[in-house]
């Protein structure tokens, strides 16, 4: 039997997966943002090099955020089909976020020029072997991923309200992809249903705030929402989502750096790999605490 609630969750999961793939592209070491910073580091800060960096980041942000808008439009198209309506897609405004991302780069450049005049070392400005300098692509890349999720979710909600909002009352449901990169926050919120004007209540780490209207809920968050007409809400679908999240919290964390990870989890213990074998490192209160510690020690990116 068709179950629209189930179909809407599956559709939201497609969006989360697509955002995850887009994040990989945005963060890629051979991507345009890293490349532009690397070029500046070899050329030094000249006015032309500074202009080139700003233009490269602006161009990359436009391309990536346009992809996010496309992900949002695909989501609306799929859901409109489930609701048997024609999609009314509104494209979110990309120019403002692109502007703030460019300003972030401009600010880094200003500070770098100022401290160079004050006699700062090259390491302080461009970063050393193990640390970032003032000119750091990571926070800029973080902003691009933030806006990608923000625009994809906001565009979807506005478009869905226009597509079916007039006839239907909706709830919003948080939808994460449950894998070994899912944060504690998003495992906890997965499946939570709120009314149109209500905020999601967040628990666990990391998070921007304890109540938020929509994702992203933390840095690098790819969680999305589904707009479910009240007549379609099926509690069985929601409890299935919760079961899945709870299962993942129990499952021993498997590092996606398998074979490279220095720390891994066995029950509630963290073990350390040295001298060719695993040694016990620390015992924690729970498996989840152990997984969190191992993830931190392995410097995993969770989303």
* Residues engaged in binding Zn ion (CB under 5 A): 183, 186, 221, 223
Residue closer to Zn ion by CB (options 126, 200) is 200
> Residue with the closest Cβ to Zn ion?
221
Which of residues 271 and 302 has its CB atom nearest to Zn ion in the complex? 302
Q: How far is the CB of 23 from Zn ion (least distance, A)?
A: 11
Please identify, using beta-carbon distances, which residue of 222 and 271 lies nearer to Zn ion: 222
Task: Pick between residue 163 and residue 223 the one whose CB is nearest to Zn ion.
Answer: 223
> CB 264 → Zn ion: shortest distance, Å?
23
Torsions phi, psi for 270 (to 5 deg): -100, 135
Q: In the bound complex, what is the minimum distance in angstroms from residue 188's beta carbon to Zn ion?
A: 10
Q: Which is nearer to Zn ion, 23 or 232 (CB)?
A: 23
Least Å from the CB of residue 217 to Zn ion? 5
Closer to Zn ion by Cβ: residue 19 or 186: 186
Q: From the CB of 183, what's the least distance to Zn ion, in Å?
A: 5
Least spacing, CB of residue 174 vs Zn ion, in Å: 9
């Amino acid at each position: 039997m068709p179950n629209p609630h189930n179909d809407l969750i599956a559709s939201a999961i497609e969006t989360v997966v697509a955002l995850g793939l887009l994040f990989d592209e945005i963060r890629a070491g051979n991507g345009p943002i890293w490349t532009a910073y690397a070029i500046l580091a070899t050329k030094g800060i000249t006015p032309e090099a500074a202009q080139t960096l700003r233009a490269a980041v602006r161009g990359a942000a436009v391309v990536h955020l346009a992809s996010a808008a496309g992900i949002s439009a695909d989501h609306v198209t799929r859901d409109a089909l489930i609701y048997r309506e024609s999609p009314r897609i509104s494209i979110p405004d990309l120019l403002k976020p692109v502007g703030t991302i460019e300003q972030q780069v401009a600010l880094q450049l200003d500070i770098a020029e100022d401290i160079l005049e004050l006699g700062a070392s090259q390491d302080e400005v461009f970063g050393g072997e193990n640390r970032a300098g003032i000119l750091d692509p990571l926070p800029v890349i973080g902003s691009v991923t933030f806006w990608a999720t923000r625009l994809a979710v906001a565009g979807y909600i506005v478009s869905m309200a226009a597509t079916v909002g007039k006839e239907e009352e909706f709830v919003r449901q948080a939808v994460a992809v449950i894998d070994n990169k899912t944060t504690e926050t998003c495992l906890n919120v997965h499946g939570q249903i709120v009314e149109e004007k209500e905020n999601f209540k967040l628990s666990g780490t990391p998070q921007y705030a304890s109540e938020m209207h929509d994702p992203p809920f933390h840095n690098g968050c790819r969680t999305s929402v589904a707009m479910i007409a009240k007549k379609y809400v099926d509690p069985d679908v929601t409890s299935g989502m919760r079961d899945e999240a709870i299962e993942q919290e129990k499952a021993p964390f498997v590092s996606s750096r398998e074979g490279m990870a220095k720390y891994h989890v066995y029950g509630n213990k963290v073990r350390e790999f040295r001298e060719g074998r695993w040694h016990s490192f620390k015992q924690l209160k729970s498996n989840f605490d152990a997984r969190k510690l191992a993830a931190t020690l392995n410097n995993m990116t969770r989303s």
